[in-house]
Structure formats: structure tokens, C-alpha cells
Structure 1
Amino acid sequence: MKNKILYTIIALSSFLVIISCGENKDNAAAAQEAPPAPFPVTQLQIKTVTGFTEYPATIEGVVNSDVRAKTSGYIEKVYVDEGQKVRKGQVLFKLETQSLSQDAGAAKARINVAQVEVDKLIPLVEKNIISAVQLETAKANLAQAKANYSGVSANIGYATIKSPIDGYVGSINFREGTLISPSDARPLTTVSEIDQVYAFFSFNEAQYINHLQRSEGATKAERIKNSPDLSLILANGKMYSEKGRIQTSTGQVNQSTGTIKIRAAFDNPNEILTNGNSGRIRFPIEYKDAIVVPQTATFEQQGNVMIFKLGEDNKVETAILEIEGTVDNLYVVGSGLDVKDKIIISGVGKLRNGMVIAPQDTTFEEAIKPIATLFRN
């Protein structure tokens, strides 16, 4: 009886194994017969695109003239206010001149005394009563007295301090009653001409070399002349209305920072910009006849930017890209692709190297169109 039960169990087990194997074969056959998954692909095209790189910038007036005292004295009057527009020669400060006037009176008196002495000696020399040396000494004393008077008179003139240029008054560092002198470290104020302003920014060494190589010209001056127009983003985030141009560069790498200082000029007809402003230079970079791909078609692996391209028999294969630049949602490809290639533009996370797909052709313009960002309240 026991043997019959054992034989029955063995027979049943064998039957189930046979059925299971059959099912697995059927599933495998079904999997092999499943059609390839569809993925959108596009044929690469050559395009010319322009990207932008931003650099922090500081703004200065084309002319910034420090106003300093040429003589010592107490400030008696300040005639202007900070930010005021002034003309060349306009009085800005007046120093107290009472003591200088007293010095001028004394110097004038010494001139008179010396002149009397000269006048007295002239006839005596003519009559040979005294030697000519005494007269020459008196004349020297007269010249010295006149020089002293001229110096005091100049100081009186220096007490009236005028603007050296047309422009705008900056911070006034000293007020009425302050004793000032020519040796003061800080100027009385600074007058800035801002009809045009300079924007200073810096390239690192690689950026500077790239800029020179992209610009046309046989010399540095020609390449600077052929540089593209620049935009300026103001501190409030808005774009400045006027375009700027690079005028010059130091041409030398600062060993401390590894950068090269660049100077650009912007017209300032509405006087929006002033000395000390900050902003960001927006520098355009044109990539001519470049291969571009949408960033969404790429993925990163071990620090490399990679993409799937369509190979023979609709098999996908990976390619490592060398990225030359970024323009909006696109990568500018330096190497890794040929214009004859077709690439898979979406769903790359589901792909594996060597996988067969059903390619769905998409126009290149549609493939590189930015994806709209949706916001939900």
C-alpha cells in the first residue's frame, strides 16, 4: 500500500515538472516574440547657436578725479552736495583765509620795505658812495619778499577749491570746521564723469585664450576690435539698455588670482550708472556650424556625459561626448558624434547598450525644442 502511494506521488511530481517546463518555454518564446519598444529618434543637424557666460563686474566713471587741498586750512564752506552735477571750475569748497590774509599783508609790507631799501641805494651806487654789492643784496632781498608774497597769494587762491572736470560729486569726506592739508590720505571728494562708464571684469586664463582664438584678427588689438557686443545685467536683475564693447585688457595673468582684467565701455545717456555700481557682464559666445543635442537625451556615467545613438539593425549604442559649451537646453558637442548619426532623444533611462528598439522619427527642430516648465498652485 505504501509503495502504491509513493509511486503515485512520484508520478504526480514528474507531471508537474513537465507542465512547468512547458510553461517556461512558452513564456520565453512569448518574450522573444514581443516587438521592440518604440523610442523617438532624430537625425542630427549642423546649427549655429549663441550661448552666454556671465562675469561679475564693477562700474567706474571714465574719469574719476580726486579733489584735494593744495594748502592747509579749516573748511569754511562746502558749496555742493553729494551726487550733485558740477561744471569744470565750479567752486566746491572754501577754506578759512583770515590767517593767510594776515600773512599776505605782512609779506606785502616786507616788499615795500625792500623796495625802499633798493630805491635808497641806487643813487648812492651811482655816486660811488657805496659798492654795487650792497645794491645787489638789496635787490635780492626785494625778490625774496616778492616770492614770499606770491606764495601766500597762491595759498589764498588755493583756499578756493574748484572742480577739475564736469561730472558728479561723490562722497564728501570732510565738512565745515575740519582742518585739512595736502597730505591727507582721503580726498575732499571725487568728481566722476559718467557720460560713459567702464565695466571691469575678469577672464581666467583659459577663457581669455578661448576669447582671442574665437575673435578674428591678426593682432590682439584687431581681435579686441572684433569682439562681440556685451550686455550688462544691473544689480536689480534687469538688462541695461545700452550695449558695451571691450576696449582693452591687461594682457597679463595675475599670479595671485589666475585672472586677466578686462575693461569694457558703456554709454550712459540716462545717467543710470554711476561710479561704484556693480552688475554682471553677459558675454556672448557663438558656436558656428556646431553639433548640438538636447540635454534630456544625455545621461552621466562615471563622470562622462553619454548619449545613445542608433546603430545597425536598430540596435542602440552608447557614445561618450566631449561638451564644448551649453546653450539653453542644449549641449554643444565637441566630439563623440557625427552629423550623420541618429540619436535617441528621450527615455534613455530605459535603454541598454545593444538593445533593439523601434525608432520613431522626430524632426530635429522638435527634438531640440525646450520643454515647458509647468507650475502648479
Structure 2
Amino acid sequence: MKYIYSLLIVTLLLTSCGEGKKQSVEAVVASDNLENIRLKRAEVVVEQQKIAEQLKQLDNRIAVLDTTKKVPLITTFKAKQEVFTHYLELQGNVSTKNLLVIYPEFSGVLTKVYVKEGQRVNKGQILAKIDDGGLSQQLAQAQIQTDLSKTTFERQERLWNQKIGSEIQYLQAKSNYEAQAQAVSQIKQQMAKTVVKAPFSGTIDDVITEQGSVVGAGQSQLMRIVNLDDMYIETDVPESYITNVTVNKSVKVEFPILGKTIDAKIRQAGNFINPANRTFKIEVAIPNKDKNIKPNLTAKLKINDYTSENALLIPLSIISENAEGQQYVYTIIDKSGNKGIVKREIIETGRTQGDYIEVLSGIENDEEIIDEGARSVKDGQEVKILTSN
């Protein structure tokens, strides 16, 4: 209605101007006549509306006659069965059970350190010596007393065997000898604590206390020893994987700092679920022949928790989901040449690996699936196939 009124007004105005010889926009603008400029603008608006209506009619007719415009262009691929190996990816730190800071068992002056940093040592090898604080003299005196009591006991024993002397004399000699022998043994045990020995074979990583320092039993750190032969990675695994992550499972271990990847196996899987985070622990043994893997080094683990010999894998990007939460993809049926009909297939999916997911049901081997254009088609629609992989 507004359009009709505008047209009538412009028509009347043009009629009132004589025979209505139209002036150009440039001429009207050059006249600087406000009334004429406004009239010319109204005339141009009416012409614009006419052209818009004509374009709309033309577009509608083209849409009816041009059937190729309504056919979406897509690409497809054929689902193929292949081996699917799924990996659980975790992170862990390298550890060793043979990493120990050695503390003294005896208090005194550290009189001698026999090793240096980086030195390889064997189990039981003497590493350091602490001043015994006079125990050696006590041992010498106690040994003399022991020897004397032993001689007395042996003589008394011979007499007792010959029925000479009293039983009490024999028992006293025996008791005295045993007490002296026990005293010697105790002193020797104390003196043994003044000698620091390697608890296992390994390498002296750090000498912490220097020779000549006063050390306290169980308090002063003497040195750190490490064995890089028996290395492992310990990490926590979610409880949902307890049936798949088991002993002897294959593991790919990547050390980002070293730029190195090795193959290993799980040597131990925990039997306890941590109630705080619902995980269990595993240990992965690490071969370390070149000794460049160190304790506390960060590692990435890829654990082979699932393998399927005949899996159907499709890109995650082509999967859609309906209002009921069902996943679906579009396939091609009734194919003729490079054209076909779209069919929506409800699918059930399994594990993902990267950008792909395993399809458990809903599609078959060699079935043609829409790839590019999967988001713009509808069930039952005709499509044109550009390429097929």
C-alpha cells in the first residue's frame, strides 16, 4: 500500500511539471533546488523497487528451471576394514629403586672418603671411614680379657671333665668367657658402623659431605649413589582400564627431551585402587644401555590397550548427532554415474585415535560414505559426487 501511495505521489508531481521530460540526476543536483532534488530521489526509489521486484521474479523462475543448482556437490570414500591399534596416552617420571642417599650409622669425624663423584662402585665396597672414637682400643682390651677368660674356661673344663673341682667353678668360668666374647662382638659391631659401604652396585652421583667433617648418625648426608641399570616409569592409570592395562602389555615410551622413543612392556600392575583419584599404579621397565635416561626424567607413555584386526574407521568430522543422542553418518545409495541418493545411517562407535573413530555397527565394509559436504545434505536428497576415494 505504501508503495502504491509513493507511486501516485511521484506520478502526480511529474505530471504537474509539464509533459514530464525527465531530468538527469546530475542536472537536478546541479540546480541546487531542494524541492526538485527531493522529487528526483523519490523517483529513483520507486524505480529501484520496481527493479527489485523484477529480479525476484527472474530468480524464482531460474530456481524452477535450473535443476542442477539444487544438487549438492560432495565427495565420498569407501569404508575399509583395517587393523586398529588403540593407545592410552599417559605421562610419567623415570624412577629407580636403586637411588639412595647414604647416611652414617656412627657419629664422629669423617676421616676418609675413598670415592669421588662419577666413580663406579660394587656392592659392599668401602666408601668412607669415620673415626671410631677409641673403640679400637676398647676392642683390644676386651680381646685380651676374652683370651684370658677363654684360657681359664678351657682349663676349668678339662678339670671338670676329670671330675676335679666344683661345678660352680666350671659354670663361672664358662659364664665369664661368654660375657667377654659377647662384649667383643658388640664392640666389633659398633666399629663396623664406622666403615661406610656401598649398599648396591652403582655410581657415586654426589659426594655431599667432605672429608674431615663431623657427622651425626642418621642425620648427615654423606653421598648419593645411583644405579641406572634398573630404570622404570611409574604412573597412575584410570580404573576404567584395569582389564586392558595388564602385565606384559606393549608400551611406546617417548622422551621429549632426548628426542627418543623406545618399546617397552608393563612389568607390574597394581592391585589397589586409590580411592582419592580412582587410579591404580603401573611400572614400565626401561632399558638403559647407554645410561642417558636419568631419574625423574619426564616420559610420555602410549599403552596398547585395545587392538582390532578388522576395524572400520571413519573421520570424526563427518559424524552428526540427533536429538536422541544417536550418532549418524550419510551414505550413498542408488548410485548412477556420478549421482546418488543420500541415506542417513545410525551408527554405534567405539574408541577414537587421533581424528578417527572405530564404527562398531551401522555401516558395512565397502559402503560409500559422504565425506566433504556431509554437514549440508539431507536424508533422501540427490547429490552429485565429485570424487570417490
TM-score scaled by structure 1? 0.72
Q: Does 1:29 align with 2:49?
A: no
| Displacement of 1:43 | 1.9
| Displacement of 1:234 | 1.3
| Displacement of 1:146 | 2.2
1:99, 1:235 → 2: CA distance? 55
Secondary structure at the counterpart of residue 34 of structure 1: helix
Structure 2 residue aligned with 1:205: 239
TM alignment of 1:29-178, pairs within 5 A: 29-30=64-65, 32=67, 34=69, 36-61=71-96, 63-64=98-99, 67=102, 69-111=104-146, 114=149, 131-170=166-205, 174-176=209-211, 177-178=213-214
Secondary structure at the counterpart of residue 203 of structure 2: strand
Relative distance call for 1:47 and 1:21 in structure 2 (3 A) is: closer
Secondary structure at the counterpart of residue 261 of structure 1: strand
Contact in 2 for aligned 1:231/1:239 (Cα 8 Å): no
Structure 1 residue aligned with 2:268: 248
Q: Does 1:309 align with 2:331?
A: yes
Secondary structure at the counterpart of residue 210 of structure 1: coil
Structure 2 residue aligned with 1:281: 301
Q: Does 1:268 align with 2:302?
A: no
Secondary structure at the counterpart of residue 233 of structure 1: strand
Secondary structure at the counterpart of residue 243 of structure 2: helix
Farther off after superposition, 25-34 or 253-262: 25-34
* Deviations 1:174-199, CA, capped at 9 Å, x for gaps: 55424332xx3787555443324222
Relative distance call for 1:329 and 1:111 in structure 2 (3 A) is: same
Structure 2 residue aligned with 1:259: 279
Identity %: 18
* Deviations 1:242-274, CA, capped at 9 Å, x for gaps: 421222212332222211222222221111123
| Displacement of 1:34 | 3.4
1:126, 1:62 → 2: CA distance? 57
1:22, 1:127 → 2: CA distance? 143
Relative distance call for 1:129 and 1:197 in structure 2 (3 A) is: closer
Whichever residue aligns with residue 111 of structure 2, its letter is E
Runs of 4+ more than 6 Å apart: 18-22, 119-130, 300-304
* Deviations 1:113-172, CA, capped at 9 Å, x for gaps: 646866897899899997441342233123212221222123223322221322123455
Relative distance call for 1:186 and 1:43 in structure 2 (3 A) is: farther
| Displacement of 1:357 | 0.9
Structure 2 residue aligned with 1:180: 216
Relative distance call for 1:111 and 1:185 in structure 2 (3 A) is: same
Contact in 1 for aligned 2:245/2:303 (Cα 8 Å): no
Structure 2 residue aligned with 1:333: 359
Unaligned 5+ runs, structure 2: 1-7, 12-50
Secondary structure at the counterpart of residue 339 of structure 1: coil
Whichever residue aligns with residue 138 of structure 1, its letter is A
Contact in 1 for aligned 2:349/2:357 (Cα 8 Å): yes
Relative distance call for 1:282 and 1:125 in structure 2 (3 A) is: closer
TM-score scaled by structure 2? 0.70
Structure 1 vs Structure 2 CA RMSD: 4.0
Unaligned 5+ runs, structure 1: 1-5, 10-15, 213-223, 364-377
Q: Does 1:293 align with 2:314?
A: yes
2:370, 2:158 → 1: CA distance? 114
| Displacement of 1:49 | 3.1
Whichever residue aligns with residue 332 of structure 1, its letter is E
Structure 1 residue aligned with 2:252: 231
| Displacement of 1:96 | 1.1
| Displacement of 1:40 | 0.9
TM alignment of 1:190-201, pairs within 5 A: 191-201=225-235
Whichever residue aligns with residue 362 of structure 1, its letter is S
Secondary structure at the counterpart of residue 148 of structure 1: helix
Q: Does 1:351 align with 2:373?
A: no
Secondary structure at the counterpart of residue 241 of structure 2: helix
* Deviations 1:40-79, CA, capped at 9 Å, x for gaps: 1122111113343321123233645675545444433333
